[in-house]
Amino acid sequence: MVHSGPFGENRGRVLVIRGAAEMAKQGLGAVGDSALASHLAAMSAERYGRDAVDVELDLQGAAAVPPGVGFHQGQTDSPTHNALPRARLPLKTPALMPQPHHGRAKQQPSVSLVGAGAGRTLRLAEDMRNTPNVWTDPENAQYPLSELQDAYMLYLASRSKPVAQGTRERYQYDLQSFESSLVLHGEPLVLDCLNPFNVERWLLDMREGLVGRQDARRKSKGLNPETVSARLSSIKTFGRKYIYRHLELSNRDLLAKVERFEPPQRTKEGLSLAQLEQVLTCYDDSDDYIDIRDRAMVAIYAASGLRFQEVLNLDIERVDRYSGWIKTIGKGDKERLVRVGDRALKTLRAYVRVRRAKDGVTALFTTDRGGKLTYQGGQSIFRRLKKACGLPWIHSHRFRHTWAQGALRKGAERSVVQDAMGWTSDRMARRYEGWVRQETAAAAMPGLAPI
């Protein structure tokens, strides 16, 4: 008899966890390895209400677990599955050991890792928590996380090279997301709970959509791999650089056992020439102040590749409406110099002629009442643009992708693209260059093929 549940299907005494396939494809197979498997086994056994189960984590993709196929002793009726490497690992976590029932002998659950991650060493749950000798002072274990979080934000803002406010806010939200996971599982909000077990469980909670979304309406949907990877990096930095090195509350990095992972890189496509024209001309027939402003703002995004906030915060005194030179404050409060072409300048001059501004307002882009355009006001421009141009996936960063890819297609040096985009390293430029090269190679394939 097959019983469906939130994780997979229970077939006899064997539980097939389908979710593990998606986690592996998103890179989670490299994070938490057997500790993650142990955690899944614990939750699955608890939710299915069984004394003991065999848990098989399918790490090769959904196609490897066809409906109706059961698992036992590492075998399956699927030829695809039989061909995959596998390793059966005993799960010896005391909390998961089943109690005797009606005189029957204890049955020990087991975890089977299929494919990715197979053969990795299983760690006991106790090994994933902090030991008493990890602290420089035993009382440090009970330090409230909320106080440490507030102190961390002040530390980031007061350094010789302060961290930008937007980055600090992201770090703070990442730490609050971790605290939400602790609350969800009944853990106290103290420093001792900053351990590999709780962090890996937090990663799973974000994958399942249990914590981590600012928009409650989307809470049921798990976070994407890029977001999970970035949040893991945030909390590891907090544990290593602040708790261990700066405050010296511990004798070692509390999260050294938690491995970082690189999410799969997806191509960030820009706009085609036809789509770009569709966007730039969608307000041409309007003489409304809002539409004139939006047309100029979108043209600046397309012509410069500037970030959302960089355009939003432009000062009218720092924009030359005739030569096209623009001074802007970029990421990390760094001043940058960019230049835009004639088409963007034409729409910008048309806007400046009707620009409304209250006394003392020097922002280039203003509301119809003359106030500085806020972050939410900037977002509303792109909500209107999606409807006006008929491209529901358009956003400010799409213009940035378009600029970088277009420059590389025209033969621009990677260093030029790096400097124009304001990147501190050439990592992103190399990534964009790789996508352009792949696209060029694919386009040339028909002419190179033997048939």
Give the per-residue SS3 of the chain. Answer: CEEECCCEEEECCEEEECHHHHHHHCCHHHCCHHHHHHHHHHHHHHHHCCCCCEEEEECCCHHHCCCCCCCECCECCCHHHHCCCEEEEECCCHHHCCCCCCCCCCCCCEEEEECCCCCCCCCCHHHHCCCHHHECCHHHHHCEHHHHHHHHHHHHHHCCCCCCHHHHHHHHHHHHHHHHHHHHCCCCCEHHHCCHHHHHHHHHHHHHCCCCCCCHHHCCCCCCHHHHHHHHHHHHHHHHHHHHHHCCCECCCCCCCCCCCCCCCCCCCCCCHHHHHHHHCCCCCCCCHHHHHHHHHHHHHHHHCCCHHHHHCCEHHHECCCCCEEEEECHHHCEEEEECCHHHHHHHHHHHCCCCCCCCCCECCECCCCCECCHHHHHHHHHHHHHHHCCCCCCHHHHHHHHHHHHHHCCCCHHHHHHHHCCCCCHHHHHHHHHHHHHHHHHHHHHHCCC
Are residues 303 and 195 part of one domain?
no
* 305 and 205 together in one domain: no
Query: Is residue 378 in a domain?
Result: yes
Same domain (yes/no): 105, 213: no
- In this prediction the pTM is 0.60
Residue 23 CA to residue 225 CA, distance in Å, equals 9
Is residue 438 assigned to a domain?
yes
Q: What is the CATH number of the domain that holds 434?
A: 1.10.443.10
- Angle (deg, nearest 10), helices 289-304 and 375-389: 90
Q: What pLDDT, on a 0 to 100 scale, did the predictor assign at position 78?
A: 35
pLDDT in tens, the chain (451 residues): 333 443 344 344 344 444 443 443 343 333 344 444 555 555 544 444 443 334 444 443 333 333 333 333 333 333 333 333 332 333 333 333 333 334 443 343 333 332 223 233 445 566 788 999 999 999 999 999 999 999 999 999 998 888 888 889 999 999 999 999 999 999 999 999 999 999 999 999 998 889 866 544 444 578 888 889 999 999 999 999 999 999 999 999 999 989 887 877 776 778 989 999 999 999 988 999 999 999 999 999 999 999 999 999 999 999 999 999 999 987 777 888 999 999 999 999 999 999 999 999 999 999 999 999 998 999 999 999 999 999 998 999 999 999 998 998 898 998 999 999 988 888 888 888 888 888 888 888 999 999 8
Residue 450 lies in a domain: no
* Residue 36 forms part of a structural domain: yes
pLDDT for res 425 = 84
| Nearest-angstrom CA–CA distance, 165 and 430 | 28
Does residue 258 belong to any structural domain of this protein?
Answer: no
Q: For residues 89 and 64, state if they share a domain.
A: yes
Strand partners, 339: 325
Among candidate residues 125, 143, 168, the one where a domain is terminated: 125
Q: Are residues 143 and 240 in the same domain?
A: yes
Q: Are residues 155 and 120 in the same domain?
A: no
Q: Which residues on neighbouring strands pair with residue 55, listed in sequence order? A: 15, 111
Whether 386 and 318 share a structural domain: yes
Out of 77, 105, 125, pick the residue that ends a domain: 125
- Measuring CA to CA, which residue among 28, 34, 138 is closest to residue 89? 34
Range of the domain at 376: 273-442
378: number of Cβ within 10 Å: 17
Distance between CA atoms of 255 and 284, rounded to whole angstroms? 55
Claim to verify: residue 150 and residue 18 sit in the same structural domain: no
Same domain, 102 and 133: no
For residues 219 and 279, state if they share a domain: no
Domain-located, residue 262: no
Same domain, 277 and 413: yes
Structure tokens given for 108: 């020990």
Q: Which residue has the tokens 């992972």?
A: 261
| Other beta carbons less than 10 A from residue 331's beta carbon | 15
Are 298 and 206 part of one and the same domain? no
Enter the tokens of residue 415. 């260093």
pLDDT of residue 250: 96
The CA distances from residue 195 to 113, 200, 276, 357, 366, in Å, are 24, 9, 48, 53, 48
Tokens of 356: 């409304």
Overall number of domains in the chain: 3
> How many C-beta atoms surround the C-beta of residue 198 within 10 A?
21
Domain boundary among 229, 246, 263: 246
